[in-house]
Structure 1
């Protein structure tokens, strides 16, 4: 759907519950840049804001899926997340993966990047550059030119304390020096291989395919004044949806500052036997 003026609020995404065993720290742009010079070969975080209620989003969703399959043969590793917003639900089709939480996250980018409007499909790269999601050439250019930072070295342990919840414990280092400005360590649970029959709305009669769909997002911890190589640990707990299937799910960990700029990310596949 072409860019369109919408009301933009200023409330920030608050993140989820967090539990950590050791004090964690934050990263300013200056300290993160210093770490990047030493070992900036980590992946680039690509966030797509999309909606099944938007006529032009399916083409962008396909670009994201192709990016995940490696069709563009990029040398830069990527971490992919698709946030389905809810502000097109009124058109006639309610996106089953849409959430006001993801709309709030996009609004935070509108403010941080100095934009005038929300639109779908929109891609944000490393929290610092944005573009229309169905322009694959512009997307490839944005990824290859994005600043890169060391990937965290977390090891993940998964546990299901109840049939409807998933507990993830992470132990490792951020590999980016953190100062007193603060960052949040975020954990996203996403699902791929989703297929939806769309009987109404702008995509009426189409079968829609979606990958890397963010189902849950939690804050592991907020960190300040923390060395790049010091080990930290934390646990995030996710409530699960009825059709949860771990074989279709992955998890992304990323480090963001208050403006949602990204200073490192890491990707995990979930065990098949959860």
Structure 2
């Protein structure tokens, strides 16, 4: 009987413990395309990450597969440029889809969830170096941050907006005939400026609409993401 009670208590803990929001969520960028036949499993996996509080999952659709028969209407040349910049920073000669980049530092094939989960866990355990807070009143976003020590270079302040979900019927190309669901589709990615961490950051930006707002503080390069926060 005692063994049963012990097992029951452990089971209740495992099934009832909520997933708590992390103080420093891990950013996962998925580089994907509606025209890529290997991407739907990665898109589906990103949808599971999109529901987590400890992860900021972002789908950046690239345009270099548009020529094979289907134009991705979410694609933006800026996202292709960002992915290529990551490749150059890592001394890699090419880019591919689906690719996930974890906290700006780890490159991994996007349809390998086990590898991605390991990297998320690794970065979630890293200590905070920067505290970042967001608030929004009307159409004004207020951003504040301070660093526990001065960073070697100023951090880039990025403002990101995304659409939480959209279903698309693919009528051409490698995925022709499929109805695919996409999550956290990045619609805007703007560089607000650079932050010299020798003094606190206090910045305001205009935002429109109800789509979620993400602010990312990242080493130049693009390099590692030092802090990120989101308002939904």
Query: Normalization by structure 2: what TM-score?
Result: 0.82
Q: Does 1:86 align with 2:54?
A: no
Tell me, yes or no, if the aligned pair for 1:187 and 1:218 is still in contact at 8 Å. Answer: yes
| Number of equivalences | 208
In the TM superposition, 1:43-82 aligns within 5 A as 43-70=25-52, 77-82=54-59
In the TM superposition, 1:75-154 aligns within 5 A as 77-146=54-123, 148-150=126-128, 152-154=131-133
Change in Cα spacing, 1:50 to 1:82, as seen in structure 2 (3 Å) is same
Q: Does 1:258 align with 2:227?
A: no
Give unpaired runs (5+ residues) of structure 2.
1-21
Change in Cα spacing, 1:179 to 1:139, as seen in structure 2 (3 Å) is closer
Structure 2 match to 1:186: 158
- Looking at CA atoms only, which structure, 1 or 2, has the larger radius of gyration? 2
Change in Cα spacing, 1:67 to 1:219, as seen in structure 2 (3 Å) is same
2:174 to 202, 208, 212: 202
Structure 1 match to 2:193: 221
CA distance in 2 between partners of 1:148 and 1:214 (Å): 26
Tell me, yes or no, if the aligned pair for 2:165 and 2:185 is still in contact at 8 Å. Answer: no
Structure 2 match to 1:234: 203
Tell me, yes or no, if the aligned pair for 1:190 and 1:215 is still in contact at 8 Å. Answer: yes
Select the structure that is richer in strand. 2
Query: Normalization by structure 1: what TM-score?
Result: 0.70
Write the deviation string for residues 66-111 of structure 1: whole angstroms up to 9, x where unpaired: 12234xxxxx911111110000011111111001000000000001
Write the deviation string for residues 182-223 of structure 1: whole angstroms up to 9, x where unpaired: 111111001112111111111101111111111001122211
Higher RCO structure, 1 or 2 (CA under 8 Å, sep 6+): 1
Write the deviation string for residues 212-251 of structure 1: whole angstroms up to 9, x where unpaired: 1110011222111424xx3x3223346x7xxxx62xx211
